[in-house]
Chains A and B, each alone.
Chain A
Amino acid sequence: MARFGLLIDARKCTGCHACSIACAEYNELEEEVNYNRLEFVEKGSYPHVKMDIIPLQCMHCDNAPCVAVCSTQATFKEENGIVSFIADKCTGCKACMAACPYDARALNEARLAEKCRWCPEKLTQGEQPVCSSTCMNEVRLFGDLDDPNSEINKKMAQHEVSQLLDSHGTKPRIYYIK
């Protein structure tokens, strides 16, 4: 079975937020809910300065704090690597929100802690989720990390990659090209 991962080339991101809006549109998210966000980091001082832009979304951690704290297993890890969510089972205790070191979850109108699910209906069809397919700079590349011949593995082999807050032991499934 495929186990999905995401490789992000943040160097190419120019901060247009299309990922976030496309995602909200595709998943019919309410106004307050966003699965994608960007972090902006200013480095240096004028005129020798640059700006890093880091796209962030649920890391689908292999050791996900949100899965660990969910008392009803509303949030759970699927075999394909995706951290999924069954809204019916969610008590709205928000423990997952408090637990997530990436601030990746968002409360909806029904007071349930929604999350990015990596559009499994697209991924399993071999398509890119909308945050990736609409990105003009091709910042994101989703793929099967278990398949040595997948595009993502080929690209990962060409670059040095890192993960965010891996020191927390979360084992995130998103990799960033250094």
Chain B
Amino acid sequence: MLNRKMWLSISSVLVLIGAVGIVNIFIQGEHVMGTSNYVPWGSLIAAYVFFVAISTGLTFLSSLAHVFKWGKIEVMTKRLTLASIVTLMMGFVMIGVELGSPLSLFYILISPNLQAPIFWMGLLYGIYMALHIVEFFFQLKEDHGKIKIISPIVLVVAIAAQGTLGAVFGMSIARGYWNESYISIYFILLAFVSGLAFAILMTVILTKTKTISESDKQKILVLQPIFSKMLIGLLIVTVFFNIWKWFYSLYGNMPGKAEAALLMVGGPLTIPYWVLEVGLVFVLPIIVLFAFKQRKQLSLTIASISMLIGFLAMRIIMVFAGQIVPLTVVQGSESTNQLREFGILWSEWATMGFGVGGTILLYLIAERLFDLNVAPHKEERRKRVNTGEGSYSLAK
């Protein structure tokens, strides 16, 4: 399982198939996607949300070291930052393929619309990406002084960006299912949980590779129970959010809201919702984490993979649920009798596969290029104090 060559080949195959799908979409256009004039946003918007949310969540974790001064996690910071950058890039690939004319994004600089959530989202994610790379650069150089300055900014931008992404959906007055203010907060919460799930999977894999020292492995193993507890805690909050979402959806007669909720009870999204979203994100991980305490690594592997798949499903379900209930422009119109058609076609699956494969491949390449192991921190501090360099220890 942990054979590097095997990972390289799997990810390369995914990337190659994905490239074919992407080219197909760019050549043939929206015909090879499951979108329509009525369901303009498809699975790739969902995949975009999925990847950038993981990226944001990983930033939350890595910033625990420098912003919240939680030393235990330092052993993973570079890898978390790298993974965050890589998933963010894949998120950009997803949205880039979904955009009909990505080159026109140029106009976002020339004639920006300050009213548009997408403008802010684009701006914030652009800054986030740039700062993230700078942060990673200084992490590699072990320049903690600069990291300390950048890291909190990255965190703030990440939160703002993720919140704005929520607003892209939430501010849509036409779509009752999305149109609510708490969706921004919910997005930030989900980003944290998905980042955690991703990080847990990393801990499992990292402790089985030969690339890091035994002592670091031990440090990482220490993180696992903490991550699990955080995960369970945040999952409970998420469940709480969801239960209230159900109440709000079914209560009152917000156009589009109750109908969308009913898609998940007896509608076409019923099985995806209860099996893939509820089952894989909440039920299975909680059961596994509680029931198989003795086989920690296996249960963590199952839980994290299950959650990641579930999160992708969750995003897709959310994107479609907001659109497949026909808009009621005229009460009682025949056009509202049937749900809008929707789907995910092979080119889109391939593009999502590109995202998964690309994440793995880029990570593996970066791991070869850069030294991701953390230098012995305390010695360095001492060294800096001794040489009088930097203000870090002085402040302490």
Contacts and interface: CB of A to CB of B under 8 A. Distances in A.
Decide if A and B touch, CB cutoff 8 A. yes
Contacts of B41: 94, 97-98
Given A65-B172, A70-B113, 12 more contacts: A39-B329, A41-B332, A43-B332, A69-B171, A69-B172, A71-B108, A72-B112, A97-B40, A101-B174, A107-B37, A107-B40, A168-B173
- Taking each of A56, A67, A73, A74, which has the highest tally of chain B beta carbons within 10 Å of its own beta carbon? A73
A169 B179 CA distance: 14
Interface of A: 32, 39-43, 52, 54, 56, 65, 67-74, 88-95, 97-103, 105-107, 109-113, 164-165, 168-169
Q: What DSSP secondary structure best describes chain B's contact surface? A: loop
Interface string B26-61: 000110000101101100000000000000000000
Interface string B147-174: 0000000000000000000001001111
Q: How large is the interface on B (under 10, 10 to 19, 20 to 34, 35 or more residues)?
A: 35 or more
Nearest to A41: B332
Interface of B: 29-30, 35, 37-38, 40-41, 98-102, 104-105, 107-108, 110-113, 115-119, 122, 168, 171-175, 322-323, 327, 329-335
B330 A39 contact: yes
Nearest to B319: A98
A111 B111 contact: no
Nearest to A101: B174
Nearest to A72: B107
Contacts of A113: 40, 100
A103 B173 contact: no
B333 A73 contact: no
A54 B163 CA distance: 39
Contacts of A56: 329-330
Contacts of A97: 37, 40-41
A141 B153 CA distance: 56
Contacts of B334: 39-42
B387 to A, nearest CB: 49
